[in-house]
Amino acid sequence: MWNGDYWFVITSLVAKDFKVRYRNMSLGVLWSLFNPLIMMGVLTFITTEIFANSSVQNYPLAVLCGLVPFNFFSLAWLTGTVSLLENASLIKRVPVPRQIFPIASVLSNCMHLLIQIGLLLVSVLIFGRGVNIYWLWLPVIWMLEIVFVLGLALAFSAVNVYVRDTRYVVESANTILFWLVPIFYSFSAIPAKFRAVYEFNPVAALVMMMRTILLEGRAPVFSTLRNLICVSLFTFISGWFVFRRLKPGFYEYL
């Protein structure tokens, strides 16, 4: 039916999101930097001054290693989930392949991610942790995380067309996840019996690997990496099938 240029459509949609988000802001892209920096400051203050039990070295940096993946994940998941509804007018008028919308929405969050990763790497250098060979792992683990979010976005955006409450489920899950992902505490603080659960949570796994690579200067732990690969691929494939299964009804329910 539609035999257009997938890449052109996706890049156009990503460019649209980017332009629309920043065009009318006086500070533009700087907003992508302020948010994690402010959160980093607040969390550092609470943990080091109020609870005052920080055994973690370079605490602000460790927090930033948690915030950047978490921010990307929660925002990409949420905007991916609502992407079909937000583009309902297009879906009902243009026979463009539907999966383009959640995919483009996740990819446009990757633009902000790049800015935030830049911030993180600069902070790492400022804190005196140099570049190491294991940085080469970063693109790999981030690709896996993006694949994971793409799978979630496909599945949840499709379900959200039928049951509109889905977006609130995602919002609540994100709030809970903020506490369950080791953002402002370290993995070693988690009791041994819960560790296995953390190892299978791709967001937690990513945070742990970011810290291992950037702060400790070591290669990611093999078992965590293996789990991340399995969970990401599984999520993506299931998301794709859920989307395909639900797609025929989009027109009626939008």
Partner 1 sequence: MALIEFQNVSKFFPHSTGRALLRTHIAHWFGADHKEKFVALKNISFQVAPGESLAVVGSNGAGKSTLLSLAAGLATPDQGRVLVNGHVAALLELGSGFHPDLTGSENLLLNSALLGRSRKQTLALAEKITEFSGIADFMDEPIRTYSSGMVMRLAFSIAIHTEPDILLLDEVLAVGDAGFQVKCREALSDFQRAGKSILFVSHSDAKVREMCERALWLDHGELIMQGDAAGVLDAYSGRLALQQQAGEQAT
Which positions lie near partner 1, rule CB under 8 A? Answer: 1-5, 8-9, 12-13, 15-16, 19-20, 23-24, 89-96, 162-163, 165, 248, 251-253
Residue closer to partner 1 (CB basis): 91 or 210: 91
Q: How far is the CB of 21 from partner 1 (least distance, A)?
A: 9
Q: ∠205-210-215 over CA atoms, to 5°?
A: 135
10 Å CB burial of residue 219 (0-12, 13-18, 19+) is: middle
What is the rounded CA–CA span in Å between residue 165 and residue 41?
A: 34
Residue closer to partner 1 (CB basis): 93 or 193: 93
Residue closer to partner 1 (CB basis): 59 or 253: 253
**Region class of 128: left (phi > 0), else alpha (psi between -120 and 50), else beta:** left
Q: How far is the CB of 246 from partner 1 (least distance, A)?
A: 10
- Residue 31 burial (CB count, 10 A): 14
Q: How far is the CB of 213 from partner 1 (least distance, A)?
A: 37
Which amino acid, 107?
L
What is the rounded CA–CA span in Å between residue 149 and residue 101?
A: 14
Contact, 148 vs 205, CB < 8 A? no
What is the rounded CA–CA span in Å between residue 24 and residue 5?
A: 30
Q: How far is the CB of 249 from partner 1 (least distance, A)?
A: 8
Q: How far is the CB of 235 from partner 1 (least distance, A)?
A: 21
What is the rounded CA–CA span in Å between residue 147 and residue 179?
A: 23
Residue closer to partner 1 (CB basis): 8 or 51: 8
Residue closer to partner 1 (CB basis): 25 or 189: 25
What is the rounded CA–CA span in Å between residue 54 and residue 47?
A: 6
What is the rounded CA–CA span in Å between residue 42 and residue 63?
A: 10
Residue closer to partner 1 (CB basis): 32 or 166: 166
Residue closer to partner 1 (CB basis): 8 or 222: 8
Q: How far is the CB of 12 from partner 1 (least distance, A)?
A: 4
Q: How far is the CB of 5 from partner 1 (least distance, A)?
A: 4
Contact, 120 vs 68, CB < 8 A? yes
